[in-house]
Copies of this chain bind each other. A is one copy, B any other.
């Protein structure tokens, strides 16, 4: 049993999640216990730089290079704080598993550009600041063997959730993604893909209309009215009909998409747009579930969306009868901590050189070892 910290900062930019865990074993012998968890916002200045890098037409290479180093400083500060609160020094950690901040992710060839992905938050800087081994860069190897480099959480999900019933794990972060773990299945049976937007469209709308980072407790959605025609129009986007495995991101459902929504619907009340965007996420999830199985199945919701009661109600309202909807918390796990814990589980396998992608989820031609190791 060793202590390790997982760091996740998702596309929604809502902060840096850090999970302190006890972990032992690999594959079916993997055992993980969450010791502590914290989410800290990015420092304002870093957040501004990230928004610029993600949204501007172009950046300077100095900005990219500098962000790579500065993000590592931000991560290190959050990990140190978590360790201090648990009377630990970072040097006592066996390792830190860091996802990094995705600056760009393009799973398919687009024009002259082959698939590629770019996560920042330099592992060398992080390892030195923490005086501890860092495992990072969990997407590139999968893409090098034809995979989409995403999703990467299903590997961890399989070893945490495989059991005596079918389970669909739905994470609602910036993007929504699901993992279907079949009763009695093997890792090769895992189905996983991005369902579409998670909170990304909603957050962009609350930022635009209210200067609020997200729809706290779903209050705007609750105050608005879902416009079914609008929701169905959005659901007619080709992405939702595309067969899995598939991944999406800010490129499809980011600022450009939301600017278009706002421009096309200026006569609609902001809260109606937010309610409709909430329903878009809910229906994109429940439609995807309905297409997967008609057998009894647990649908377990995690991520920020699990804390939006309006979204949870919409999921329960639109899901087929064979599903029992739960939240991650109902199972005794922290919803927020799930992805950060998954990074630790991936890293535990990286360090043992055990392949830890799920080709059935990413579309990769073969299993590969995700991640790379930087010693302090």
Contact = CB atoms under 8 A, between A and B. Distances in A.
Interface of A: 53-54, 57-62, 64-66, 68-70, 72, 103-104, 106, 113-118, 122-125, 127-129, 136-137, 139-141, 143-145, 350, 353, 368-376
A128 B145 contact: yes
A143 B65 CA distance: 13
Given A58-B59, A62-B116, 17 more contacts: A59-B61, A61-B64, A65-B103, A65-B117, A69-B143, A69-B144, A70-B114, A72-B144, A122-B140, A123-B137, A124-B140, A124-B370, A125-B144, A128-B144, A136-B372, A353-B375, A369-B376
Contacts of A64: 61, 64, 103-104, 118
A293 B115 CA distance: 53
Contacts of A103: 61, 64-65
B59 A59 contact: yes
Contact of A368 (B114, B372, B376): B376
A350 B54 CA distance: 34
A223 B60 CA distance: 39
Nearest to A139: B124
A65 B136 CA distance: 16
A374 B129 CA distance: 21
A375 B368 CA distance: 9
Contacts of A376: 368-369
A59 B60 contact: yes
